Amino acid sequence: MGIFVNKEINVSMEITETLALARIGVSLLLGGAIGLERMVHKHPAGMRTFMLICIGSTLATLASIYICQSNIDLHNGDPGRIAAQILTGIGFIGAGLIIKTADGVSGITTAACIFVTAVIGIAVGVGMMLTAAIVTVIVLIILSSGYYARKRQDNKG
């Protein structure tokens, strides 16, 4: 009653303070890894921004699950609603980073990083730590390959 159970492996998914803090810690590390990469390459949104986005998304997701788990009389509880609103809010932040100049458009990659970091935070909040960690590594590889390709192109030109 009020506890989410994965019937396949019969593991309790009840959100406790200890579990929530552990997930916030994982979220802090994953968001920090992406933020550190952005900070090292001198992009406007750095480590603090990405850490805050990731832990904020994780906490909102945890709170959403907790509300549904602790309010048995809540007949219309849907933890997915808060996750959807996280992405809506992140869209506004990302849109504010995209700048059109005479030379072109900048900030698209940073906006995309902010979006994926929020989704990583949501994944951590629902307990998908391994998936979130693997996606974080993939994001770092994608960002690194972009710098490598740009550096190689600059050396040819």
pLDDT in tens, 79-120: 778 888 999 999 888 888 888 888 888 889 999 999 999 999
3-state secondary structure of 106: strand
> Strands, DSSP E only, in 11-131?
11-12, 99-101, 104-106
Residue for token pair 């992405």: 87
What pLDDT shows up at residue 25? Answer: 98
Q: What is the mean pLDDT of the chain?
A: 85
Residue 62 confidence (pLDDT) above 80: yes
Across 57-69, b (16+ Cβ under 10 Å) vs e yields bbbbbbebbbebb
pLDDT in tens, 1-30: 444 444 454 445 789 999 999 999 999 999
Confidence of residue 153 (pLDDT cuts 50, 70, 90): low
Please say whether the beta carbons of 110 and 38 come within 8 A.
yes
Please say whether the beta carbons of 16 and 39 come within 8 A.
no
